């Protein structure tokens, strides 16, 4: 019994311990890491991956995967830029873009739930389709020339009470999604589908509907991340968001969520996002080459999953 | 081969599972091992076959002490264990399954197909079974798959075969076949350990019986010297009154009707009705279409034509969620795969169909939830220290109670139960029967599918018999007998 509780504590806090350890190591090697300016910088850097990873957590909890998030980000970014160039109000544009993200996600969800297709295959296909549509729409060139709206600039570059607005967005979204996952019946259904889809269905849970909603959330998060990126760059890039799905999946996995579904927590994903962010930020501070950074990130993923195997 | 297990002890952590078990297996006998779930039968057999190490006690084979390190060593010594969950590779052929991991190869590593076929045929001949060797194992019936397992054991020259609940998924004809094979095996000196909850079978096929209770072997007796009552008493440590608690049915109005339900190639023109307070038993052979009919009613499978009527009104059910909204509940036959999320807590499982009732604007009202779950756990007498425990750790009987709890909390009008007591010990069975009586007293209608004929006869007010997708007979409680049911079930009335 005692060993049982110990393992459960270990499994809950393993990623948190890793995070603290990482912060310690980076700080010792370069104390500049803990300076407020750098921490704010860090928060802004992780907000895009954070948003996508939070949405991805729901998807992975059901035992699914969403590879299309990077392309969804690019397509919504391009459409939003196009709308603003055409004179649509920037705030309205953000709402429309997020709605489009929801629809793109719902398309994934419909194929997966109603078409009974594997999430990997469906989102692999839509990843290509959405990217292709982005390239068609932008004709392969960046869209610029919408940069004079103060409100839109604020969304990616501004500060609120000294905290970068993207970070504020990320934290608000985290709280909302955390509440949905742990306090609302929607969250219970999400876990139930991942735990045993057949039992969930037979218990009267509308599995198809929940899945469509979950992929919609993932699409919305990608679109929201896309708006932050568009605002920060002041342009929509047709190649934006490539391989973002990998960073998001990595964060979810490092955070202890099982790719088989049914087990995991969104708070763990937050820690995973922080770990990946600090690795990037810290290695930049230490002047480690970007090539090494890739190797290190990969190694961290392997270790995280290996520890996960060991404890289960 | 004579096996003597003496004073076996085993603990997992603080949990003492076996506390002094004696078990002797004579050559050529069928020895029943019986006991409630959690009595330690499986652990004892796992120790015999080397999966677990014993803490204390001795095991001798023909007088020689043995210590098997794993099941491979036990197999090499001639002891095979056929588990309830069969070891079948469904995508591979029967022949490939028979030789899996033990393929015959020539010195170049090429398979000796013809030699393997000959050997397989020899074993099949010996058992007098004919399954095509190139058939996919997944397409074989459960009975045939079991024969594959037995053949595998024989090809290893097993002298002892342990069978865990071998008949739980078999149709009656397949059970007969299995018994014939078992007799043939014992005649040639093979001894069999037969773990089962089915008393009738034990009296039919076994020579001796050892009853276990709470990790101790209570008694070993010759079948001819013991009785049903005696065994039950040894098992539960007290006398059970009746197997099927008495009840005086009070019928209300007809609450549920099915009219002309058909699905091409599966079932045809199914019409029946149930009244409030009635238990309708559905009998028939495995594969007759009983479960398929209920799955269609519950919105799990489609149907081509027909009508479902509740309280006189025609209803459309396209998904289990629709059925649940109409207050129909379905306890499926496969509680591990379809009824429960084994890794999740009792609370989470009970809440599955009840999330809507306990949330406002989608937010779960945790206080109400907690008291609801506690009430249900108490009401169904689920044995557990905490409702936060995962259901996977519970015994079969307690798992089934959790499945029932999750539906009963919804206060359904119609409760469909598919094999409600399969693989459950006598004590828990009786509790479930009592619950069924209590529910019907309050006006619930129950539709119960069961392959256990005494259960059908003991519990149902009315019995429908399904044969090849059609209703072949209807019997009232008073007139029903096993013979009449079997005649309808096998289509014998048509001749």
DSSP A149-195: -HHHHHHHH-EETTEEHHHHHHHHHHHHHHHHHHHBHHHHHHHHHHH
Mutation target among A179, A193, A203, A260 for the B interface, most CBs of B within 10 A: A203
Ranges A51-65, A239-253, B235-249: which has the least confidence: B235-249
CATH 3.40.640.10 fits B254-494, yes or no: no
Return the CATH architecture of domain B3-236: 3-Layer(aba) Sandwich (3.40)
Cα–Cα distance for residue pair B199/B208, rounded to 1 Å: 13
**What ipTM goes with this model?**
0.86
Comparing CA positions, the residue from A256, A306, A191 lying closest to residue B347 is A191
* DSSP state letters, B6-47: EEEEEEETTEEEEEEEEEEE-TT-EEEEE--TTSSHHHHHHH
Structural tokens at position B111 = 């398979």
Convert the pLDDT of each residue in A61-96 to its tens digit. 999 999 999 999 999 999 999 999 998 999 999 999
Domain residue spans in chain A? 35-311
Q: How far is B440 from chain A (nearest CA, A)?
A: 22
Q: How far is B296 from chain A (nearest CA, A)?
A: 12
**C-alpha dihedral sign at B74, B76, B77, B80:** positive
Alpha helices, H only, B129-213: 142-155, 172-187, 199-205
User: Is B353's CB within 8 Å of A203's CB?
Assistant: yes
Phi/psi of residue B280, nearest 5 degrees: -100, 120
Q: Which residues contact B91 (CB under 8 A, 6 or more apart)?
A: B136, B137, B138
Cα–Cα distance for residue pair B459/B447, rounded to 1 Å: 11
Cβ contact B137:B87 at 8 Å: no
In this predicted structure, the answer to whether residue B392 has a pLDDT above a threshold of 60 is yes
Q: How many CB pairs under 8 A join A and B?
A: 79
- Residues of chain B in contact with residue A262, where contact means CB-CB under 8 angstroms, are 341, 343-344
Q: What whole-number percentage of chain B has pLDDT above 70?
A: 98
Ranges for all domains in chain B classified under CATH 3.40.50.300: 3-236, 254-494
Alpha helices, H only, chain A: 2-29, 36-61, 69-85, 90-113, 119-138, 150-157, 165-183, 185-195, 197-202, 207-233, 244-254, 266-285, 290-311
Q: How far is B489 from chain A (nearest CA, A)?
A: 28
Q: What whole-number percentage of chain B has pLDDT above 90?
A: 56
Most confident of A118-132, A134-148, B178-192, B464-478: A118-132
Q: How far is B468 from chain A (nearest CA, A)?
A: 25
Structural tokens at position B304 = 């081509």
Convert the pLDDT of each residue in A169-226 to its tens digit. 999 999 999 999 999 999 999 999 999 999 999 999 999 999 999 999 999 999 999 9
Cα–Cα distance for residue pair B51/B69, rounded to 1 Å: 7
- Which residue of A lies nearest to B335 if distances are taken between CA atoms? A199
Classified as helix, coil or strand, B414 is strand
CATH class label, A35-311 = mainly alpha
Convert the pLDDT of each residue in B141-187 to its tens digit. 888 888 888 888 888 888 999 998 888 777 777 888 889 989 988 99
Half-sphere exposure of B99 (CA within 13 A, CB side): 20
Q: How far is A171 from chain B (nearest CA, A)?
A: 20
- Residues of chain B in contact with residue A198, where contact means CB-CB under 8 angstroms, are 337-338
Band (A3; pLDDT cuts 50, 70, 90): very low
Give me the helix-helix angle, B172-187 and B113-127, nearest 10°: 100
Band (A9; pLDDT cuts 50, 70, 90): low
- Residues of chain A in contact with residue B319, where contact means CB-CB under 8 angstroms, are 201, 206
Cβ contact B170:B142 at 8 Å: yes
Question: Residue B495 has what pLDDT?
Answer: 43
Cα–Cα distance for residue pair A114/B99, rounded to 1 Å: 40
- Residues of chain A in contact with residue B351, where contact means CB-CB under 8 angstroms, are 188
β pairing state of B208-213 and B191-195? unpaired
User: Is B351's CB within 8 Å of A188's CB?
Assistant: yes
**Nearest CB partner across the interface for A192, out of B323, B330, B341:** B341
Question: Residue B1 has what pLDDT?
Answer: 87
Cα–Cα distance for residue pair B185/B200, rounded to 1 Å: 20
């Amino acid at each position: 019994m005692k060993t049982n509780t110990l393992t459960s504590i270990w499994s809950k806090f393993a990623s948190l311990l890793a995070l603290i350890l990482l912060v310690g190591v980076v700080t010792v090697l370069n104390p500049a890491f803990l300076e407020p300016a750098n921490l704010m910088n860090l928060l802004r850097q992780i907000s895009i991956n954070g948003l996508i990873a939070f949405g991805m957590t729901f998807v992975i909890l059901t035992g699914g995967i969403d590879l299309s998030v990077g392309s969804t980000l690019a397509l919504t970014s391009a459409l939003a830029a196009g709308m603003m160039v055409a004179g649509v109000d920037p705030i309205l544009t953000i709402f429309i873009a997020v709605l489009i993200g929801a629809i793109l996600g719902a398309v994934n969800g419909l194929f997966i739930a109603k078409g009974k297709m594997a999430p990997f295959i469906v989102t692999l296909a839509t990843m290509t389709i959405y990217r292709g549509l982005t390239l068609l729409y932008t004709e392969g060139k960046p869209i610029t020339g919408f940069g004079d709206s103060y409100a839109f600039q604020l969304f990616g570059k501004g500060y609120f009470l000294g905290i970068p607005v993207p970070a504020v967005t990320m934290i608000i979204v985290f709280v909302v999604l955390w509440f949905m996952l742990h306090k609302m019946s929607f969250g219970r259904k999400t876990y139930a589908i991942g735990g045993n889809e057949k039992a969930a269905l037979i218990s009267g849970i509308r599995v198809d509907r929940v899945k469509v909603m979950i992929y919609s959330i993932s699409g919305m998060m990608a679109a929201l991340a896309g708006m932050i990126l568009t605002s920060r760059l002041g342009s929509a890039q047709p190649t934006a968001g490539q391989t973002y799905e990998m960073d998001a999946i990595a964060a979810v996995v490092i955070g202890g969520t099982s790719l088989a579904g049914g087990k995991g927590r969104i708070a763990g994903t937050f820690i995973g996002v922080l770990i990946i962010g600090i690795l990037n930020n810290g290695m930049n501070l230490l002047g480690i080459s970007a090539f090494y950074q890739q190797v290190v990130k990969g190694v961290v993923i392997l270790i995280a999953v290996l520890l996960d195997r060991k404890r289960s | 081969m004579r096996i003597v297990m003496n004073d076996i002890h085993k603990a997992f952590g603080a949990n003492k599972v076996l506390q002094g078990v004696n078990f002797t297996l004579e050559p050529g006998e069928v020895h029943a091992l019986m006991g409630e779930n959690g009595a330690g039968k499986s652990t004892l057999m796992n120790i015999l076959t080397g999966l677990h190490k014993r803490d204390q006690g001795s095991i001798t084979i023909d007088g020689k002490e043995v210590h098997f390190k794993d099941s491979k060593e036990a197999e090499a010594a001639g002891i095979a264990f056929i588990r309830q969950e069969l070891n079948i590779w469904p995508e591979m052929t029967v022949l490939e399954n028979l030789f899996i991991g033990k393929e015959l190869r020539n010195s170049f590593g090429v398979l000796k197909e013809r030699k393997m076929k000959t050997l397989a045929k020899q074993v099949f001949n010996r058992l007098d079974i004919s399954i095509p060797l190139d058939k996919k194992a997944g397409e074989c019936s459960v009975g045939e798959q079991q024969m594959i397992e037995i053949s595998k054991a024989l090809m290893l020259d097993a002298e002892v075969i342990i069978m865990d609940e071998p008949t739980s998924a078999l149709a009656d004809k397949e059970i007969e076949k299995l018994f014939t094979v078992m007799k043939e095996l014992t005649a040639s000196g093979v001894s069999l350990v037969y773990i089962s909850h089915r008393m009738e079978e034990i009296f039919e096929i076994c020579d001796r019986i050892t009853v276990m209770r709470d990790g101790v072997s209570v008694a070993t007796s010759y079948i001819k010297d013991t009785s049903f009552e005696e065994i039950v008493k040894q098992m539960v440590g007290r006398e059970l009154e009746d197997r099927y608690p008495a009840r005086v049915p009070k019928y209300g109005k007809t609450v549920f009707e099915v009219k002309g339900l058909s699905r091409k190639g599966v079932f045809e023109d199914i019409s029946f009705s149930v009244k409030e307070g009635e238990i309708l038993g559905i009998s028939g052979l495995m594969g007759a279409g009983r479960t398929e009919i209920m799955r269609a009613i519950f919105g799990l499978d489609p149907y081509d034509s027909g009508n479902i009527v509740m309280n006189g009104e025609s209803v459309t059910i396209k998904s289990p969620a629709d059925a649940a909204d109409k207050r129909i509940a379905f306890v499926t036959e496969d509680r591990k795969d379809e009824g429960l999320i084994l890794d999740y807590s009792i609370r989470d499982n009970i809440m599955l169909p009840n999330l809507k009732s306990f949330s406002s604007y989608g937010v779960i009202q945790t206080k109400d939830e907690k008291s609801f779950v506690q009430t249900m756990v108490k009401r169904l007498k689920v044995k557990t220290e905490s409702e936060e425990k995962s259901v996977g750790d519970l015994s079969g009987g307690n798992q089934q109670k959790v499945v029932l709890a999750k539906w009963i909390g919804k206060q359904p009008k119609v409760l469909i139960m598919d094999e409600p007591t399969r693989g459950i010990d006598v004590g828990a069975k009786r509790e479930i029967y009592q619950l069924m009586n209590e529910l019907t007293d309050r006006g619930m209608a129950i539709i119960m599918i069961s392959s256990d004929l005494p259960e059908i006869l003991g519990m149902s007010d009315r019995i429908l018999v399904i044969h090849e997708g059609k209703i072949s007979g209807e019997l009232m409680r008073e007139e029903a007998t096993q013979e009449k049911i079997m005649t309808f079930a096998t289509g014998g009335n048509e001749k």
